[in-house]
């Protein structure tokens, strides 16, 4: 069996050629992430003349881990997975949504890098912004980040909710067509009706992974997590007492850790969605499970965001779900689904190989002789 033969589009088949092509298309994100890590660690190495090795590398490792932890925040996982699904199901011939997480993380970390650079340079306004918890500007940006994240996750959650309902309806209806009346796949089509008019511009704008950069940038303007604030304070303290080089390395390493994890998330989800969008009952079942889980995570993030906004503005009170570990739980469930999908695909491929090997080689010759 030739493993380099291209898989049939829409079947969910993944072969050697497609796998290699997928990773070739991801070369830019991989190069940038490696560049951030190399630059960050180079600055750490250069700073060891001014600060002890243990302290320098300890702070560097902390920055990487903070970035990785930030990547698993529930709002990150929700927006990346929901946007990845829309792009991946729109074009199953390539890993179209694989770079969604990279561009989102790059936009988000741009705010971190710029702010840390300003703090390191001694900009009073930037230092006041990240240190003072009573700052009106910080409170306003925090509310902006919360509302923007909630709205974006909600919009793409609605898109995937409509797709989930269509998938469920088609599965329950015997012989239902696989495509919508306008030719769009039920798995990836955007909702129609009043919501389309309201949200169509945002939904239509994100038609490629690079369009996630401004969304990540706007997410980052909210200074929405303790990880980001902690990094900024650490950068300022380090610059003041030890080495500016080490302070500049921290946001780069933070960005590398976050981008690596967010990119890994979107690559995994793009491959899983593409596989799950194939023909056959088994693929439809996986598609329903994966899409439904993405919608559920989006709903949890939206409910938590609305509840937090009400509490911050003292306008209303809602019970808020605890989302501290929701991103980890969601990613873990997706990994389990991905492993199950991989095992299923391999078992199916092995069964096909056994069928091919069990076929009588002389059957075709005998049939050809009868034809003559």
SS3 track for the chain: CCCCCCCCCCCCCCCHHHHHHHHHHCHHHHHHHHHHHHHHHHHHHHHCCCCCHHHHHHHHHHHHHHHHHHHCCHHHHHHHHHHHHHHHHHCCCCCCCCCHHHHHHHHHHHHHHHHHHHHHCCCHHHHHHHHCCCCHHHHHHHHHHHHHHHHHHHHHHHHHHHHHHHHHHHHHCCCCCCECCCCCECCCCCCCCHHHHHHHHHHHHCCCHHHHHHHHHHHHCCCCCHHHHHHHHHHHHHHHHCCHHHHHHHHHHHHHHHHHHHHHHHHHHHHHHHHHCCCCHHHHHHHHHHHHHHHHHHHHHHHHHHHHHHHHHCCCCCCCCCCCCHHHHHHHHHHHHHHHHHHHHHHHHHHHHHHHHHCCCHHHHHHHHHHC
Q: Which of 59-68, 131-140, 185-194, 282-291 has the highest mean pLDDT?
A: 59-68
Q: How confident is the model at residue 176 (pLDDT cuts 50, 70, 90)?
A: very low
Which has more confidence, 232 or 276? Answer: 276
Average pLDDT (188-208) is: 59
- State pLDDT tens for residues 89-125: 776 555 678 899 999 999 998 988 888 787 777 666 6
Structure tokens at 45: 């190495």
* pLDDT on residue 31: 95
Q: How confident is the model at residue 333 (pLDDT cuts 50, 70, 90)?
A: confident
């Amino acid at each position: 069996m030739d493993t380099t033969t291209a898989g049939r589009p829409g079947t969910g088949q993944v072969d050697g050629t497609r796998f290699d092509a997928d990773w070739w298309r991801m070369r830019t994100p991989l190069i940038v992430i490696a560049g951030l890590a190399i630059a960050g660690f180079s600055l750490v190495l250069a700073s060891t003349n001014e600060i002890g090795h243990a302290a320098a590398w300890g702070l560097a490792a902390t920055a990487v881990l903070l970035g990785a932890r930030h990547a698993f925040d529930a709002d990150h996982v929700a927006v990346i997975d929901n946007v990845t699904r829309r792009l991946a199901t729109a074009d199953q011939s390539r890993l179209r949504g694989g770079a969604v997480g990279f561009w989102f993380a790059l936009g988000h970390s741009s705010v971190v890098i710029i702010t840390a650079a300003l703090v390191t340079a001694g900009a009073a306004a930037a230092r006041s912004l990240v240190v003072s918890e009573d700052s009106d500007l910080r409170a306003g940006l925090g509310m902006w980040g919360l509302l923007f994240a909630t709205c974006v996750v909600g919009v793409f959650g609605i898109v995937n909710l409509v797709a989930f309902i269509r998938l469920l309806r088609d599965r329950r209806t015997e012989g239902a067509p696989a495509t919508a009346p306008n030719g769009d796949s039920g798995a990836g089509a955007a909702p129609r009706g009043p919501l389309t008019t309201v949200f169509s511009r945002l939904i239509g704008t994100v038609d490629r992974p690079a369009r996630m950069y401004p969304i990540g940038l706007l997410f980052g303007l909210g200074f929405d997590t303790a990880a980001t604030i902690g990094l900024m304070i650490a950068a300022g303290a380090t610059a003041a007492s030890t080495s500016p080089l080490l302070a500049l390395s921290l946001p780069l390493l933070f960005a590398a850790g976050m981008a690596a994890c967010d990119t890994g998330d979107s690559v995994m989800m793009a491959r899983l969605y593409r596989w799950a969008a194939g023909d056959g009952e088994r693929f439809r079942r996986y598609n329903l499970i994966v899409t439904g889980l993405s919608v559920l995570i989006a709903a949890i993030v939206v409910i938590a965001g609305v509840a937090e906004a009400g509490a911050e503005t003292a306008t209303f009170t809602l019970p808020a779900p605890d989302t501290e570990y929701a991103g980890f739980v969601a990613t873990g469930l997706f990994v389990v689904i991905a492993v199950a999908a991989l095992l299923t695909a391999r078992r199916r491929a092995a069964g096909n190989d056994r069928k091919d090997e069990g076929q009588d080689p002389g059957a075709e010759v005998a049939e050809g002789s009868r034809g003559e």
